[in-house]
Chains A and B, each alone.
Chain A
Amino acid sequence: MPKSIKKYDICIIGSGAGAGPVIYELSKAGYSVVVLEKGPWYRTGDFTKDEVTAVRRSVYTPNLLDERHVIEDVDSNGNWIGRNTYDTGNDFWNGNCIGGSSNFMSGYFQRFKPVDFRLLSEFGEIEGANIVDWPISYEEMEPYYTKVENIVGVSGKIVQHKHLEPRSTPDFPYPPLSENIVSSWIDNAARKLDIDIIPMPRAILSQPKGDRNACVYSNYCGSYGCASDAKGSARVALIHDALKTGNCTVIPNAKVYHIETDGNKKISKAWFYNAENKKEYISAGIFVVAAQASETSRLLLMSRNKEFPNGLSNNHGQVGKNFIFSAGGVGGGEFHINDFSKDDWQALSIPGVFVNRTMHEYYQFKDPETGKKQKGGTVDFLFEHANAMTKSINQKWDDYGNLKYGSNFKKMLKRYFTGVKKLKFEVFVDWLPTDNCFVSLDNKVKDKWGDPVAKIRIGNHPHDLKVGKFLASKGEKVLETMGAKNIYSSISGAPPSNLQAGGCRFGNDPYKSVLDKDCKSHEVDNLYITDGSFMPTGGSVTYTWTIYANSFRVADKILSRLSS
């Protein structure tokens, strides 16, 4: 028999960046909060710099034998073909544990800019894209960006530039992290090219904060959990403090599979499988879903009943629609030991210290062909990841796709590890929302509990590639100016699975959006969604800071509602 647990004021499904601020604020305000997280609780002591655990095995993510996705892409004949990720090996999961993927982010933290809140008004329509303005302005979000800087902890340095977003404080609360000598070389290149390349803010503490230590420069940041608690994951920055209030209950290994309504379009229960795969439920007054965008849409679509035959909050068919990713791509170039003095090479090779530079020159630009104002994006600079297994495995194919091995391969690998430093860049531009990018339920593939998995169609708009290529050429120019060799870039329509949003966009029209401007469901009075699902458009930087800020904003709305 299913087991019921006491009724809480608020039940939050998920525990990552979208969930953390609500958990933190509601617990601190004295409300009883329960968190259902499908993954386990990894403690800080569990996080080591072990590539086997962090990268080579399914530890922080589900085993694809048990849980997978179906990804729909266009084949060479122009037909949409769904392939499940177990067959392709193209894992679409991110961090499944307390704190979610915020544990494993690199913490590149940049605010959206005012124009990102009014993309349609600023730049006009683009054929084939469902561009809309946000129902709120940057000014409404700004206090919450500032709140994240202080509570989660953001380090960096403000420099004036033409696209600097308005701020209510002069600078970040934590000074910049230590930098590699290459950062100054990038600055020199920027001066030569007369472009804005600015210090990259990071959600990583450069100084201790409460129980959290400052960064220890371990050299293994992205993809790895933080062993010093310097990285601003929802787990250490928010949920730890929520637990200290005594008002917060966290249930790990609790996979929610159905949200039940009471016949009056209000949620009464969230049903989940516990660690022993037995069914339980939680009752609460208010429910917040923040399971990461694709899983949030999936859960709503799975929660069908008489009131919502097409899925919870989906009587207008909007759930899962206008799914977006971060568009763009990557590039890089190499520095070779023979081109440098011994001192410079030693400085370049110091492990752990950061590059932390981002190009904002082309956040908006004039289209060279039409002369029209265009939305552009950012280019972030970083070293190749220190992961030795991945780094070496990436070297095993030659330029013609042939396998390299034997004594020559050993010599090449030794040279690569000891005589080459690769400086990379990542291009971030808008992934325009279209009718060909959405989440639905697959009608054949099930997870280990027998529930349908999310099917994600990943169609992109050609405009994204055009802007991406423009930005990549600018990134290449910087590397060229620095004297890098073997410069390359690759812009494609392949989505980064860790940078996903949309599917439950917010807006004022219930026929064209799932959520209202407070991220409350248009159709279900006690349902809020606070992960990246709410975003109608996704800006041209990583999402996490905006997800955190919006979740703090929604927490205030929920608190106002509860207090009245």
Chain B
Amino acid sequence: MKELVVKKTHSRRRFLTGIIGVGIAINLPVAYSCNNTGDDNILTARQKEIAIFTMNFLWPDDKYGPSIKETKTYEYLIWMLSDKNIDPEENQYIINGLNWVDETSTEDYQIHFEKLPKRKMYKLLSKISNLEWGESWLSKMLSIVLEAMFADPVYGSNPNGIVWKWFDHNPGQPRPDNNNKYPVILNRKKEKIIITSMKQL
């Protein structure tokens, strides 16, 4: 099959370009300028607010199909960001983007993003979607939204398969459980075993 593995569809080059475009943001610590911590200890309260707003910008709660909140997409994002098996640069890129959004807000409006009226929040995200770094980062965020939407409920999003049902999508059997889901399955890569019999399997 010629398109056997279609993974990691983003290009690292593409988001590195984004980093260069914003310049100073690469040097900012994860906590950025806000000392408040979010309820997940992965993002600050400000980053959390920007993340949730951005996901709703990409996938609006317009009463047409399951929403970001119903599908627990933010929770999936946090699970991804806390995954030590994912390239730290990839996760840092997501967090950097949240910071860049706020930086753009303070540059354009002299106030932090979460203080903006919703109309201006939309305007700001629309504006960055036309910038190279902005489109690249929003594309990454949209991929995460779609990944969360269609993930098996064993990962915490898509509860009861509501997204599958809405899209009339057949997920295939067998589905993963807590014993063979990611990243539990990665433990196989650490097994020091010598197999001489089928009984060992």
Interface residue ranges, A against B (CB under 8 Å)? 39-43, 45-46, 48-53, 55-59, 61, 63-65, 86-89, 91, 94, 97, 104-106, 108, 216, 218-220, 222-223, 227, 240, 243-244, 246, 248-253, 274-276, 326, 328-330, 351-352, 382, 385-390, 392-394, 396, 402-403, 405-407, 409-411, 413-414, 417-418, 426, 496-499
Contact = CB atoms under 8 A, between A and B. Distances in A.
Contacts of B189: 39-40, 253, 275
B8 A89 contact: yes
A392 B176 contact: no
Interface stretch (B26-34, B60-68, B102-110): B60-68
In terms of DSSP, what is the predominant structure of the interface of chain A? loop
B39 interface: no
B194 interface: yes
State the 8 A-B residue pairs at the shortest beta-carbon distance, nearest first.
A49-B172, A40-B188, A275-B192, A388-B150, A50-B176, A106-B1, A222-B1, A220-B172
A188 to B, nearest CB: 25
B181 A53 contact: yes
Most chain B beta carbons < 10 A, residue from A105, A253, A393, A394: A393
A41 B4 contact: no
A276 B189 CA distance: 10
B201 A41 contact: yes
Given A55-B6, A89-B11, 7 more contacts: A50-B176, A63-B85, A104-B4, A246-B197, A394-B9, A410-B64, A499-B2
A402 B131 CA distance: 11
Interface size band for B: 35 or more
In terms of DSSP, what is the predominant structure of the interface of chain B? loop
B180 interface: yes
A387 B13 contact: no
Interface in B80-125: 85-87
Given A51-B151, A393-B9, A396-B139, A274 B192 contact: yes
Contact of B12 (A39, A89, A387): A89
Contact of A50 (B143, B152, B167, B168): B152
A329 B192 CA distance: 41
Contacts of A108: 1
A51 B150 contact: yes
A52 B147 contact: yes
B64 A392 contact: no
Given A53-B181, A417-B169, A251 B176 contact: no
Contact of A390 (B6, B149, B195): B6
Nearest to B129: A403
B173 interface: yes
A144 B9 CA distance: 39
Nearest to B171: A49
A59 to B, nearest CB: 6
A405 B182 contact: no
Given A48-B176, A392-B146, A418-B168, A253 B3 contact: no
B172 to A, nearest CB: 3
Contacts of A57: 7, 85-86, 182-183
B138 interface: yes
Contact of B142 (A58, A385, A405, A414): A405
Contact of A351 (B85, B170, B180): B170
Contacts of B172: 49, 218-220, 351, 386
Nearest to B10: A89
A218 B186 CA distance: 23
Contacts of B196: 243, 246, 248-250
B24 interface: no
Contacts of B142: 393, 396, 403, 405
Nearest to B141: A405
Contacts of A393: 9, 142-143, 146-147
B125 to A, nearest CB: 9
B20 to A, nearest CB: 14
Contact of B151 (A41, A52, A227): A52
A68 to B, nearest CB: 11
Contacts of A407: 60, 62, 64
Most chain B beta carbons < 10 A, residue from A57, A91, A382, A385: A57
Interface in B125-153: 129, 135, 138-139, 142-143, 146-147, 149-152
A403 B60 contact: no
A222 B3 CA distance: 9
Nearest to B58: A405
B167 A414 contact: yes
B195 A406 contact: no
Contact of A52 (B9, B11, B152): B152
B139 to A, nearest CB: 5
A388 B167 contact: yes
Given A403-B142, A498-B5, A411 B64 contact: yes
A385 B195 contact: no
B8 A403 contact: no
A88 B12 contact: yes
Interface string B158-178: 000000101111111111110
A388 B171 contact: yes
Given A220-B172, A418-B168, A252 B10 contact: no
Contacts of A402: 135
A403 B170 contact: no
Nearest to A329: B2
